[in-house]
Structure 1
């Protein structure tokens, strides 16, 4: 009984800390898009140039995702998270001092090298500290921190930059991230510290080759490259859309734009809660995650209605539904990853799969920049309508493959052929 209480307390602490750092992470990401019009004016940066800055960040993210899993597995969740958060907080603070396009690019590249580590180490923390029936809920709860960060970023930055120079927001962001580190250092003491003692045979069994031989890995990677650009659009472009295309002031955009990120927050809760409920009622984990992702893929095609809606608030509400669908999808996809791979491979698997997020986001940023420059935002909303349906079609075989690597590790026998 005491052991159960200890594990439950550890689970709550883990979720609270991950929620908080995910919130910080997304305020950091959102800051640039909110102050983008003023930043572009001062640096004489076009929309295409802004797209290049976003691409630099996402290129670094793709590289970091590929490395972060190995770092997390080697150092352990505790030390790896401290490294990631400390690095990106310093990079965010450095953005405040960028006075040229080159310096801004370097700062955002460094930010991109640090931030993805959270989204690789967090699933590993879940696999270590969360009971199976709470794993999808845990992922939903800490991902909610990201969407809460996106919700509060618009009004918070609008208030701060009304009284302080717009560059100060980056410095404040960095300081808050550094203040989170002592809390993590204290509460996470005693957690696993990596696989430095693993034997050669175990390292080979848990290496990248074993992951790449699993057909699910490539499918999950490509699915993230297809669908994560929807979220990157809402994160890096939607505030600009409201201000530039809809003609709203920053204050007006902050009163409307938060609705989109609130919808995304509901999606993180829905993705974890619904699939978890289905599992508790006897549905297999794979079928529960597949059903959740299918429902999300059926909502995503509403996207073009946002561009066609005459009301800015109406457009934001439609976008909120699409954001809700995407975040429910992402939670279920991440929970699928935790289900498919054994705990000692989760970090590397999460990193490899998340590389698709950075690569897809980098490509989509250039595509969005081109479309916005030459055709406006309507083609972008139309493009987003088809990405999740393509993703679920690609992933469908993943839920039929048997047994998973995690199941093999748990001793689940190979099913008899029909």
Structure 2
């Protein structure tokens, strides 16, 4: 089913915004990866146990998770232009400050502010795609910006390992913080929100084709609260728990897993750890392409996104089991690569699902609610994994636990989320009730 073609100004804005989102998203995951890359050196210098490191890795994630709920609503009210710039600036300052810490608690505070600053990143991205792309075209751009969750970790090990070995782990943190401040300034100067665009009739026709017209008014507190009345909201929240739990097990512990369980050196780990995340880039973009193809073949906006999510979760769980049970390093790395490829497809299309599941003015709010559920899982993954490894002496039970969580989350998408989106009428908020 072919729809209107995007007008020239829309295409230009789509391209420029997507490039900047890819840069910001990649930096986002580079900054998250610094602690994982420097794990052994930081533990040695600060005298931390493996369990302490699990808690430190989770400090960012708890702050990130709970900042999602207000963060998404703020994106819908303030707009991605200002809020993402502010978030980028805050997380970059926190990243640079981590290079000067001297204790576990100081490091924890820096990681908490890193989480608070990064919270608006993906809800801003999903709102940008919702504002500037037709419903028929959102799968691929969502897959592209979401691929940064794999691209960042893929290039992080070689880049950050080189910085760490050349300048020390402290300067690695400081340098990345300075880069982030430059990116924040660029986003603020170049991007403008859709509400400032003054769309023409052909542009409006393209942007609203296939769904109810977008509302220009910001989300209200009543609308935000009413989102929790719907199965869709709870299905996204509970389903994304498993997607992010499985992803963060690898993001937080893959270098440590390769060093401790597979007995690889730090330089070798820096190269090998990049391989699985490179496959994640393919999975995220491929999942977006499949979603758009499914919709063009007649699948509904919801189902065209749900199918890649369900297949992705099943594939990630299956290959995680293979990685847990194999004695071969080569097979383990291959299985983890496949797991992250399927997982990235599930992650990207979960975000694409949020972009079609509610009215436009609730897009970032619903995406952030989903991400809150996901990062409850993400916050638990490093800590649970750290204590399981500390108690058992190996990663096998932690990997099998992750696979089981992924299977449960599959049923959230399959059985809880209905096939129709939440409409403005479904929200049931009258003009008199708006606050």
The TM-score with structure 2 as length reference comes to 0.88
Task: Please say if 1:219 is aligned against 2:235.
Answer: yes
- After superposition, where does 1:150-161 map in structure 2 within 5 Å? 150-161=153-164
> C-alpha distance in 2, partners of 1:2/1:185?
28
1:361-388, Cα deviation, whole Å (9 max, x unpaired): 2223322122111122001111222233
> C-alpha distance in 2, partners of 1:128/1:341?
13
What is aligned with 1:275?
291
The 8 Å contact of residues 99 and 170 in structure 2, kept in 1 or not, is answered as yes
The 8 Å contact of residues 256 and 313 in structure 1, kept in 2 or not, is answered as no
> C-alpha distance in 2, partners of 1:254/1:369?
20
SS for the counterpart of 2:100 is: coil
In the alignment, which of 10, 15, 25 is matched to residue 22 of structure 1?
A: 25
Return closer, same or farther for 1:295/1:365 CA change in 2, 3 Å cut-off: same
SS for the counterpart of 1:96 is: helix
> C-alpha distance in 2, partners of 1:41/1:102?
16
What is aligned with 2:341?
324
What is aligned with 1:81?
84
Instruction: Report deviation, 1:182.
Output: 2.8
Instruction: Report deviation, 1:406.
Output: 6.2
Query: Mean Cα displacement is larger for which, 304-313 or 88-97?
Result: 304-313
> C-alpha distance in 1, partners of 2:193/2:354?
25
What is aligned with 1:315?
332
> C-alpha distance in 2, partners of 1:407/1:329?
29
> C-alpha distance in 2, partners of 1:388/1:370?
20
Task: Please say if 1:338 is aligned against 2:355.
Answer: yes
In the alignment, which of 247, 250, 253 is matched to residue 231 of structure 1?
A: 247
Instruction: Report deviation, 1:198.
Output: 4.7
Instruction: Report deviation, 1:87.
Output: 0.6
What is aligned with 1:373?
390
> C-alpha distance in 1, partners of 2:421/2:150?
34
> C-alpha distance in 2, partners of 1:100/1:10?
45
Task: Please say if 1:299 is aligned against 2:315.
Answer: yes
In the alignment, which of 102, 123, 126 is matched to residue 126 of structure 2?
A: 123
SS for the counterpart of 1:167 is: helix
Gaps of 5+ in 1: 410-418
Gaps of 5+ in 2: 197-215, 428-435
What is aligned with 1:256?
272
> C-alpha distance in 2, partners of 1:53/1:182?
29
> C-alpha distance in 2, partners of 1:356/1:29?
19
Query: Mean Cα displacement is larger for which, 218-227 or 16-25?
Result: 218-227
What is aligned with 2:185?
182
> C-alpha distance in 2, partners of 1:211/1:246?
45
The 8 Å contact of residues 62 and 379 in structure 2, kept in 1 or not, is answered as yes
The 8 Å contact of residues 22 and 149 in structure 1, kept in 2 or not, is answered as yes
In the alignment, which of 364, 381, 384 is matched to residue 381 of structure 2?
A: 364
> C-alpha distance in 2, partners of 1:405/1:321?
37
Return closer, same or farther for 1:165/1:394 CA change in 2, 3 Å cut-off: same
What is aligned with 1:413?
none
> C-alpha distance in 1, partners of 2:381/2:249?
8
Return closer, same or farther for 1:3/1:67 CA change in 2, 3 Å cut-off: same
What number of residue pairs does the alignment pair up? 405
> C-alpha distance in 2, partners of 1:37/1:163?
16
> C-alpha distance in 1, partners of 2:421/2:232?
12
Instruction: Report deviation, 1:91.
Output: 0.6
What is aligned with 1:167?
170
> C-alpha distance in 2, partners of 1:306/1:164?
34
> C-alpha distance in 1, partners of 2:66/2:277?
27
Query: Mean Cα displacement is larger for which, 284-293 or 41-50?
Result: 284-293
The TM-score with structure 1 as length reference comes to 0.91
> C-alpha distance in 1, partners of 2:228/2:395?
37
What is aligned with 2:259?
243
The 8 Å contact of residues 343 and 406 in structure 1, kept in 2 or not, is answered as no
